[in-house]
Amino acid sequence: MSRFPLHRINWTTSSFLIGTLAIMLTAVPLYLWHFGLDWFQVALFFAMFLACGFSISLGYHRLFSHIAFQAAWPVRLFTLIFGAAAFENSVLMWASEHRRHHKHVDHDDDPYSISKGFFFAHVGWLIFKLNPTEPYDNVADLQRDRLVVWQDRYVQLIAFVMSFIVPPLLGFWWNGWEGALGAFLLAGIARIVALQHCTFFINSACHYFGSQPYSTKCTARDSFIMALVTFGEGYHNYHHEFQHDYRNGVKPWNFDPTKWIIWTLSKLGVTRNLRRVAQEKILLAQERRQAEIEYSEGELPPNGEEQGVALARVKY
């Protein structure tokens, strides 16, 4: 029996994912060959990429899914609008699936479990609907937010307007129909594909490559390389151990621009109640993990009392 039965394909989602990728690989190069690239198209691409990307990492993930901080309505509205433009569905669905991922990580009820393979965790879980859509039974708190409910109702319309209407209008203002086509292809199609796969890498690569300095309870791993392309979300081992911390890259030298933006917004008074794990708990997790490594490598100290302390750290 096929692991991914064809009769369970979600044709709407798979057509969008494959179609946008095909356009990016064909129409975008043709446009660049015929018309070239100017600074406006580059600026518009990165403006949309960053606005939508941080709306996912800061808004969808840390604010709404984990309630790692609280935000004033302008911040929530901004992340809801530009998050929708990422074409990763509504906050309610995204947060519901993500909370289920944390609750059942690496097991069958994990929506994008890495135990089912890299491809499944990356994009297969979207293409093949192996399980029926779960109810929003774990996001009752978000359903009390009128902005979130509004976005859930109109998410596809918001996504279409912000991705395929606004950028071409700006492109047309800049350089007529040539500019509109370029904005549609670059700030629209190419930006969507690039951003979606950055998000998908958190579900796949961040459970496959990297280190586990805090815990081996699940497959989540820390990766500086992944942090570079996921707005700081690459410190995934820390995140799974301390999921309600507003920081993913907890060390001062970690690349976590989402953390920096949240902190900066708190100084401006539009975010508050930033949740942080106590430094003692972080150090204890690292000590336990180091004891695990020493135990597995046979490097525990010979002294019985010291060995008992090390083993206790592993167990507790």
* Number of domains within the chain: 1
The answer to whether the CB of 170 falls within 8 A of the CB of 146 is no
Give the pLDDT score at 296. Answer: 72
Domain limits for position 108: 6-211+257-277
In a domain, 110, yes or no: yes
In a domain, 250, yes or no: no
Q: Phi and psi dihedrals of 134, rounded to 5? A: -75, 150
Give the pLDDT score at 128. Answer: 85
In a domain, 245, yes or no: no
Give the pLDDT score at 311. Answer: 43
Burial class (CB within 10 angstroms; exposed 0-12, middle 13-18, buried 19+) of 215:
middle
Alpha-carbon span 44 to 38, nearest angstrom: 10
Beta strands in 205-269 (DSSP E): none
Alpha-carbon span 223 to 107, nearest angstrom: 22
Give the H or E element holding residue 271: strand 271-272
At 127, list the tokens.
Answer: 């293409």
Give the pLDDT score at 301. Answer: 54
The answer to whether the CB of 211 falls within 8 A of the CB of 222 is yes
In a domain, 171, yes or no: yes
Give the pLDDT score at 8. Answer: 76
Total-model pTM = 0.91
| Series of mean pLDDT values for 10-residue runs along the chain (316 residues) | 64 93 97 95 98 98 98 98 97 96 95 95 87 81 97 98 98 96 98 97 95 95 95 97 96 96 98 97 93 73 46 43
In a domain, 249, yes or no: no
In a domain, 271, yes or no: yes
In a domain, 313, yes or no: no
Closest CA to 76 of 149, 183, 136, 21: 149
SS3 category, 304: helix
In a domain, 252, yes or no: no
